[in-house]
Amino acid sequence: MKMKILIADDHAIVRQGLRALIDKEEDMMVGAEAGTGAEAIRLTRQERPDVIVMDISMPDVNGIDATRGITAEFPEVKVLALSMESDRRFVVEVLKAGANGYVLKDAAFSELATAIRAVAAGETYLPPRVTTLLIKEYLQRIPDEVPATYENLSAREREILQLIADGSNAKEIAFAFGVSVKTVENQRHSIMKKLDLFSIAELTKYAVRQGLTSLK
């Protein structure tokens, strides 16, 4: 029986490309595609895939939060995270959320296929580049790492953090500053990276601790 795969990525061209390649494999088939984290959760309940190929950067609910929700509800479903990020923080966070493996988006499809089979078999998959990075950083302990503080943010990033904490979405923030939604998403990503945070919920909690919002 073929493994049923769910592809979760907010770019249609990526989903279509992965579907075309995966469906050529004798032991795999794509059962469904999701464009957001929320849709990935809904389709998991509906389709019960064997493996989810999950982009960690998606609108609505990000891939890390979606992974956390899915693995809590369906521990038998394997999640393979897919990302452009080789930063240890993203790797560690998505693995803590329940992912069974991590593949970089610049990898060859042959590596992705190997990773899918590995996680389906109950193994954990990390590409050599990420494994090497994690080992080096663990040994070095990053002694000169700058603590994640509010002072690291630019004035604009602080304004955006304030608006996010007050409940504004990317479209509303973009309108307020007269920039594109993509620009806001990039700045939000920069804020999360500087503060070592991984979700909007964590950003909001951080803002409450900093006294930037009264939301609880």
One domain for residues 80 and 162: no
One domain for residues 10 and 73: yes
The residue type found at 76 is E
CA gap 70, 116 in Å, rounded: 17
Last residue of a domain, one of 139, 159, 184: 139
One domain for residues 91 and 178: no
One domain for residues 99 and 182: no
One domain for residues 101 and 180: no
Confidence at 42, pLDDT banded by 50, 70, 90: very high
The residue type found at 148 is A
Last residue of a domain, one of 139, 158, 193: 139
Q: What tokens does 34 get?
A: 């999701």
Q: What tokens does 86 get?
A: 């080789």
One domain for residues 111 and 171: no
* 135 pLDDT above the threshold of 90: no
CA gap 23, 78 in Å, rounded: 18
Contact in structure between 3 and 51 (CB atoms under 8 Å):
yes
| Main-chain phi, psi angles of 89, to 5 degrees | -65, -40
Residue 188's domain comprises 150-209
For residue 180, the domain's CATH number is 1.10.10.10
Q: How does pLDDT run across 44-55, given as a tens digit for each residue?
A: 999 999 999 999
How many domains does one find in the chain?
2
Q: How does pLDDT run across 84-116, given as a tens digit for each residue?
A: 888 888 898 999 999 999 999 999 999 999 999
**Domain-located, residue 168:** yes
The count of other CB atoms within 10 Å of the CB of residue 213 is 16
One domain for residues 157 and 130: no
For residue 128, the domain's CATH number is 3.40.50.2300
One domain for residues 81 and 14: yes
One domain for residues 114 and 170: no
**% of the chain residues with pLDDT over 90:** 58
Give me the pLDDT at residue 147, please.
52
**Domain-located, residue 145:** no
One domain for residues 62 and 120: yes
Residue with tokens 């630019």: 154
Q: How does pLDDT run across 2-38, given as a tens digit for each residue?
A: 999 999 999 999 999 999 999 999 999 999 999 999 9
Confidence at 146, pLDDT banded by 50, 70, 90: very low
Kindly write down the DSSP assignment for every residue of 93-157, as one continuous string. Answer: HHHHTT-SEEEETTS-HHHHHHHHHHHHTT--B--HHHHHHHHHHHHH--TTPPP--GGGS-HHH
One domain for residues 201 and 163: yes
Last residue of a domain, one of 139, 166, 195: 139
* 151 pLDDT above the threshold of 90: no
Give me the pLDDT at residue 108, please.
95
One domain for residues 103 and 189: no
**Domain-located, residue 130:** yes
CA gap 126, 119 in Å, rounded: 10
